[in-house]
Structures are given as C-alpha cells and as structure tokens.
Amino acid sequence: MPKGSLENHLFKKGVQPMAWATRIQIAVDVARGLSFLHSLNANVIYRDLKASNILIDSKFNAKLSDFGLARKGPSGDGTHVSTRVVGTMGYAAPEYVASGHLTPKNDVYSFGVVLLELLSGRRAMGDETMGGIEGTLVDWARPFLGDSRQFSRIMDTRLRGEYSKKGAQAASSLALRCLCCDPKNRPSMVEVLAELEQVQIQAQRNTPRTIMEQHIKRTSTPSPHKLSSFA
C-alpha cells in the first residue's frame, strides 16, 4: 500500500502528523471492515487487529490486512470458540488472554485500543510519552476516558488542539465502552461504526475549507476499491 501502515503514520519519527478528520476516517474504515467480518454471512473474527495490520492507500483510506489469525466465529447456540491464545500484547482482550474464549467482542476490545492510539498518538505498550509508566496504553488512559474534564489529557499534542472537542469526547467515550472489562457491555462493531460516522460528519464540518475540499474529493466517488476495507 502506497502509504504503508497506520503504525508508521502514528509513531514513526519525521512523519507528518495526521489531521483529526483523517484519523476519524481511518477509524471509520476499520470499523466498517470489522462490521462486515462480524456479519452473519461472514461470521469471521479478525483476532489480530493492531496498527501495523492497518494499511493506508494513497488517499488515506484504511484497509485491513494479514488474515493469518482470522477464525470463523461461533455458530448455532455457541457463545464462543475455544482457541490457542494468539495475537499481540496490548491489543488482545483480557478475557481472551485468560481463557482462550474467542468472540467478536474480542475484536471490539482491540478496536478500542487502536482508536485510543489514533486519539493519543501513543503506542499500545510501554510508550515513552506516558512518563515512563510501564504497562499498557489502556491502563494509562482509562482514568481519563469518558470524563469531560479529563479526556483532553489523552489527546495527541501534535494535533495542536485542532479537533472537535465534542467529537473527541464522543470518540474517547466510545473507546472506553469498547475497552470495558465485561465483554457483554461492549458495543457491537455495527454500533461502533454508526457512532463514528456521526463523529466523522462533525469532523468534516469543522475542517478548514481547503482541507475539506481535498477530503471530499478523495471520499465522494464510490467504487469497488473505495468500498473495500481489505488489502
């Protein structure tokens, strides 16, 4: 993919920081891909969602890649699939790590981590910008998520405050729900996608005209390539 991975754009030194509208567009693209995988017809659990597996095309559309760990989800009356625990530390849902019980809600947790990375510009594990705190980004950020007076503390300083405060608060609250310790209380990816699309609309309204024209130009023409969320 021409623009490489999301990991490079968020964490590689010397790369120009992504604008708020671009970050939300990427989150929407990823949510759309996972929503499709979790649909009744597909019933696939991705199982290894992380920044390095999200690839970016020339117009900053995001695509899911590397389906080597994907697994067909539970069928019939089954509530989960029992598997050997695989994935990447910092992104895997705690109940999956503890039991090996695989459900679509495991992907929802991983998406919450990626959304948190998009908001904060920090890595899922042991980021130096967290003041040398050992542990996960989730552990560091959880106290601030969903708090209208505290959520701004997690936001990427490279955005220089150029983002919708209402949209950022909505996104941080959504991330908190995705990261809920009880998987039953996490939203489905369909719900996540619907909420992010509303944040995206607001982000576009608050984007300067010249940037907006470029954004509309690259997202307004439907095509099989644009509609695909997979590399």
* Catalytic site residue from 48, 107, 127, 156: 48
Q: What single-letter amino acid sits at 208? A: P
Are 30 and 24 in contact by the 8 Å Cβ rule? The answer is: no
Going by C-beta distance under 8 Å and a sequence separation of 6 or more, which residues neighbour residue 220? none
Told to judge if 48 belongs to the known catalytic residues of this protein, a careful annotator would answer yes
- The string of DSSP letters for 9-70 reads HHHSTTSPPPPHHHHHHHHHHHHHHHHHHTSTTT-EE-----GGGEEE-TT--EEE---TT-
Q: Are 175 and 124 in contact (CB under 8 A)?
A: no
Active centre residues (catalytic) = 48
